[in-house]
Structure 1
Amino acid sequence: MKNADINFKENTAFSVEFDDVYFNTNKPQNESECVFVSAIDEIWEKQDSFIVAEAGFGAGLNFLTLCKRFKNTDKKLHFVSIEGYPLSKKSLQDIYDKLGVFKRLSKDLISAYPPTIKGIHRIEFKENIILDLCFGDINEVLKELDFKADIWFLDGFSPKKNPKMWDMEVFNEISKLTKENGIIRSYSCSKPVRDGLSNFGFNLQLRAGYGKKRQMSHAVFKTQQDKEKKDIWFERSETDSKKAKDVLIIGAGVAGCVSAYKLKNSGFNVTIAEKRDKIAQNGSGNHCGILMPLITKPDVNLGKMHKNAFLQAVRFYKKTMSEKEINFSGCAEYAYDETLTQRYFLNDDSIFEFYKDKKPYPYVFIKDGAYARPRKLCKKASKNIDIKLNLEYKSHKHLKNGKISVKFKNNDTIKTDILIFTTGSESVEIFKNLPISFVRGQVTHIKPILVNKIPLSAKGYITPAVDDIQVIGATYARNELNNSPTDTDNEENINKISEFVDTKNITIQGARVGYRSYSSDRFPIIGNLHDENFYKENYKDLFWTKHKGSKIKPKYQNNVFINIAHGSRGLCTAVLGANIISDLILNRPLCIEKSLFNELHPARFLIRQLKKGKLQN
């Protein structure tokens, strides 16, 4: 994406693309308060948390004005804003320097402001404020969102200057994302706005405008009848998170410990049950690992998911971890054949730098790539969590009182409100109806031989030296069980880094074996665990009706979630999994596009089979 092109006219920010000003007055914060933010006064006493959505983030003035309302209060704000032409950090700084308002808040916003990459950017702005910045064309973005807003701010450029943002399809999609009696506010009351609101279920009032503007729009949404929905089988279920207090997580690797951290910070009582005698003993137990996204061709969903996950992971680790746990050195991903060269160099995202004429191969420098100490990371994330060791999961059942009873192989039982599986390679045995396989991976520990300050990845990888050890790897052996390192695998790992070092001079100091789980389509499996029998019965006709919508909402195992199949990039995707699970439990807007959420959904494999007619009786 390109940044918005702006200049200043008499200290007022002006859009070159739309030939329009960002603000209409010399005190735009007052107009923001009057036109938009005052809407929250009408519902402030009725609830403790609010979802406010916005079309047209601009410089974030409405957001910062609203943030002031949430200072010194326990109430929570989730603000979702769409922007098709994101400002650069420098432009934001220039705007607030000239405005002279929100000096501290604007500094915080600029510091947290994401790279200009299409998609949803989750920012935990304050302890009680989440900002989801959604970059992209509004018609595309709206279809990718999943929430019911209490309030909408319509604050795009003038309908005459930017008619695309005010067309009927935009109002149609906004109506789907608004709760009953939800409020819409706009400075504009032009005909496109009046028609859009009245045509899609909003009762419009014209109220007194701000300053020289005679009128503004205030509208309230009235519910519409349920309509058939495409992909309704991936629709989320409502969770009564106010009643649910206790969370049990099975598995103490990165996915489990990060999920525990997130939910503990959201006010839940969290327990982790781990089958081994220590945490982080399987795939998350390596001496050193690399944080980097899988790079695909642009617009491939797998690559889009990895970029989203990578950016969420970077924000989380920077906020919670020190250099003892993770070092954001950047890392190099080499294109060691023509296929990779074509794939990598089609990208133009600002998180990458491209070097085509380098030896031994062209490479992509991943700016916020990092090398991490997974065990230390798990230990810090789970510092204040109740961890029960030597407990291996056996079964679970729902009780009449709504609790879930979890039984372990030593006959211990734990009762909980919410159950989350972060079981890595053990998922193969637990979820036999899901297409998961495990992969044995061996890494080799060598005496430092290369002075590299960043991880290098080609056919194999080599990390910087940590505690006088460089880690190289890794082998991949699907469904192979052998806990003992082998000389053959060490030799394979050494041969894979021959482009970087003279392998004759390598001294092996040790090796380690771990197991990872993979799904059949390479996406992790994240979400509410579905009721398989319900799906088979109620969606059995998908072979004939797959191109039509449905009104039948899916059924899930109540309060049972999975966050598994992260493969070799769990440092990256585990944080995404933890955020999605938290969103589902807390009924928050999703931190990832709906189409990508569907790609991660546990029921996706069953739905594909039903669409192909493979499960017909």
Structure 2
Amino acid sequence: MDTPLLETAADGTPRSARFDDVYFSAAGGLDESRYVFINHNRLAERFAALPEYGQFTVAETGFGTGLNCLAAWQLFQQLAPATARLTFISTERYPLSAKQIDTALAQWPELAPLRHTLVRQYPARFEGFHSVELADNVDLLLLFGDANVTLSELNAGVDAWFLDGFAPAKNPDLWQPTLFDAMARLSRPNASAATFTAARRVRDGLSGAGFQVERVKGFGRKRDMVRAEYIGRCGPPRPGLWPANEWVWPKTANQDRRAIVVGAGLAGAHSAWELAQRGWQVTVLEQATTVAAGASGNAQGAVYARLSAQDAVANRFYSQALELSQQRLGQLPDSIPHANCGLLQLNQGPKEAKRFQQYHQANPYPADFVDLIAADKASEYAGVPLASDALYFPNGGWVSPAALVAHRLDHPNIRVLTHHTVSTLTPNDSGWQVDCDNGERFNVPHVILATAWQSAAFPQTADLPLQPIAGQVSRIATTDTLATLRAVLCSDRYLVPADRGLHSLGATFHLKQSQTDVRSEDDTDNLQSLHQRLPQLIQGNETPVEARAGVRCASPDYLPLVGPVVNTQAFTTDYGEALRKRRTDRLPAPAHYPGLWVNIAHGSKGLTTVPLTAKTLANGLNDEPMPIPQNVLNQLNPNRFIIRQLIRGNA
């Protein structure tokens, strides 16, 4: 990304050389933030009035040093109910580094605990959405890039706007009509806005966006500033404009905060935990005798993603998912076997050589997220000799999926019932009747299927294109050679540093197979494949100490399926012709099965993708801002395959 060109003024105030303007007032940056943005958005009054489990969203243009974010967060901690949630969304085209932010904010000791958390959690600087978890009930959603672009992909309802950024005369690219159009689309009823500037273009832009604008006394020596209340644009809103109707998620108007999650693997456990964190009461139904009995039950798993140097939707999703999963990996308690030991993707084979060549030409990521390094440096990080260059993920590592699942399900709002095989799902007036083979019956407003490829067994989800992929992980005892391995190694197989004297390696890949029996030939395949790639580490004749087979689930485009499910027949009738003509803007909402959701098809990367998809699903059910761009969310939509078929006229 472009650098911020930070300077320090004579009085110590951080200043942008690019815009010839200060980040905050030398007369008192925190006082100005509170006066302009906190007071004129009436945040003290509104935070205190939030109900239990209420949620509030602030959107800001220009994150800068993060001062406004910390001021809002501090006040929220002081006044809001403990169960309420705050999402602070902020755009930034030229993000400062964590060190620069730390230095700029150090002058306010009262903010020190919040500053330390922000600096510790601050994301890598590359374009896109970054979900930063500041506290259990406070999320920071950073949108790095041009605000007029990033806000166009934001799916949220905003309660208060902080229009910061540099002055319109010095930063005219920000204060464009597209900004005010985005505000009109995103603002909730009675949303407010405040800004330090009273420039005519800003007042006119706010008025045109449906805000009632008022000029008031500015901070300190400034003559005036603007505050505004959203009253709506004139005329009826046009339906189906954004997102296109076929991609819209249904609103969850039901205030009954209960859900059943079917499946107690990674996807099910995280989906249940995210809702439980928001005060929902969740029952998890698992057909096996224990949780994590399927593909999520391995002793070790790598937290990784195969990123390219190209700006594709899949790449945006995987980079954001990897960032969040790495952030959480670093916060796990010692009771869960894991290590933030770094991860190396090795340049082996012709396909990898092409991908690595793209990184040689241009790495879109900063080195603190992924760095292209030579073999000698890779060997140093790995602690073992390596013969190829590698992509180094300094925050990568491994975790025990089985222990992570158990940890997420250990929550007072979650009840886990094993030996419960769901036989039928029947819609009723209250939502869903869930019947199990053992005769038990449940009635809840929401059901989340986290049953991987077995989701196709239910009539409502039988049309989803899911394919099973059987595979086996082998474990071997450490050796003198392997004992020094201190980073995860990945090519088309992986090798993990030892945990209690055992290394995990794998995994085999049997497309469209669903067997779960452990096979000696799969152990041989794992060992021989790694011997070919890492002969200096794996001899190929090691004796496996243990092995575990499981079945992963993938979609045709190898992206997860997350969100609501449509009635295929009704959707085809309503949308078939309109999709072929690309004229869906006047159609009614799609015929979703009310209260039925899926979080499936994570393939071999569930440790990386599930945290973000579960959070996305919970935010959707809880009417919180979506943590990923809308164009990415569309490509995770479970109904994308029928939509594509209808557009092509193949359904």
Q: TM-score, normalised by structure 1?
A: 0.95
Q: 1:268 to 1:34 in 2, by over 3 A?
A: same
- The CA deviation string for residues 127-166 of structure 1, in whole angstroms up to 9 with x for no partner, is 4322111111111101110112111111010111110000
1: CA distance, partners of 2:232 / 2:589: 18
Task: Give, in angstroms, the shift of residue 44 of structure 1.
Answer: 4.9
Q: Which residue of 2 aligns with 1:537?
A: 573
2: CA distance, partners of 1:51 / 1:581: 17
**Contact residue 284 and residue 416 of structure 2 kept, 8 A:** yes
2: CA distance, partners of 1:566 / 1:150: 34
CA RMSD of aligned residues (A): 2.0
Q: Residue 68 of structure 2 is aligned with which of 44, 62, 65? A: 62
Task: Give, in angstroms, the shift of residue 101 of structure 1.
Answer: 5.2
1:148-167 → structure 2 map (5 Å cutoff):
148-167=157-176
Which residue type is aligned with residue 246 of structure 2? W
Which residue type is aligned with residue 464 of structure 2? L
2: CA distance, partners of 1:208 / 1:532: 57
Q: Which residue of 2 aligns with 1:7?
A: 7
Task: Give, in angstroms, the shift of residue 201 of structure 1.
Answer: 2.1
**Contact residue 542 and residue 613 of structure 1 kept, 8 A:** no
Task: Give, in angstroms, the shift of residue 547 of structure 1.
Answer: 6.8
Equivalent residues, number: 613
Q: 1:318 to 1:196 in 2, by over 3 A?
A: same
Q: Which residue of 2 aligns with 1:375?
A: 402
**Contact residue 3 and residue 116 of structure 1 kept, 8 A:** no
Does residue 1:581 correspond to 2:617, yes or no? yes
Q: 1:398 to 1:159 in 2, by over 3 A?
A: same
Does residue 1:461 correspond to 2:467, yes or no? no
Does residue 1:422 correspond to 2:471, yes or no? no
Q: Which residue of 2 aligns with 1:602?
A: 638
Q: Which residue of 1 aligns with 2:382?
A: none
**Contact residue 445 and residue 511 of structure 1 kept, 8 A:** yes
Q: Which residue of 1 aligns with 2:379?
A: none
Q: 1:421 to 1:544 in 2, by over 3 A?
A: closer
- The CA deviation string for residues 444-497 of structure 1, in whole angstroms up to 9 with x for no partner, is 222324231122112321111223322221111112233322232222211211
1:9-408 → structure 2 map (5 Å cutoff):
9=9, 10-38=11-39, 39-41=41-43, 43-44=46-47, 47-48=50-51, 49-72=55-78, 73-74=80-81, 75-98=84-107, 102-224=111-233, 225-227=236-238, 228-229=240-241, 231-240=244-253, 243-322=255-334, 324-344=336-356, 345=359, 346-350=362-366, 351-357=369-375, 359-384=386-411, 385-400=414-429, 402-408=430-436
Which residue type is aligned with residue 254 of structure 1? L
Identical-pair percentage: 27
Gaps of 5+ in 1: none
1:455-494 → structure 2 map (5 Å cutoff):
455-494=488-527
Which residue type is aligned with residue 565 of structure 2? L
Which residue type is aligned with residue 520 of structure 2? D
Q: 1:493 to 1:408 in 2, by over 3 A?
A: same
> Which aligned segments of 4 or more residues in structure 1 are displaced greater than 6 angstroms?
none
2: CA distance, partners of 1:321 / 1:302: 31
- The CA deviation string for residues 369-388 of structure 1, in whole angstroms up to 9 with x for no partner, is 11111111111211233211
Q: TM-score, normalised by structure 2?
A: 0.90
2: CA distance, partners of 1:114 / 1:568: 25
Instruction: Give the secondary-structure state (helix, strand or coil) at the position aligned to 1:496.
Output: helix
Task: Give, in angstroms, the shift of residue 517 of structure 1.
Answer: 0.5
1: CA distance, partners of 2:75 / 2:538: 62
Task: Give, in angstroms, the shift of residue 85 of structure 1.
Answer: 1.0
Instruction: Give the secondary-structure state (helix, strand or coil) at the position aligned to 2:404.
Output: helix
**Contact residue 126 and residue 364 of structure 2 kept, 8 A:** no
Instruction: Give the secondary-structure state (helix, strand or coil) at the position aligned to 2:246.
Output: helix
Which residue type is aligned with residue 503 of structure 2? Q
Which residue type is aligned with residue 291 of structure 2? I
Which residue type is aligned with residue 42 of structure 2? I
2: CA distance, partners of 1:77 / 1:324: 28
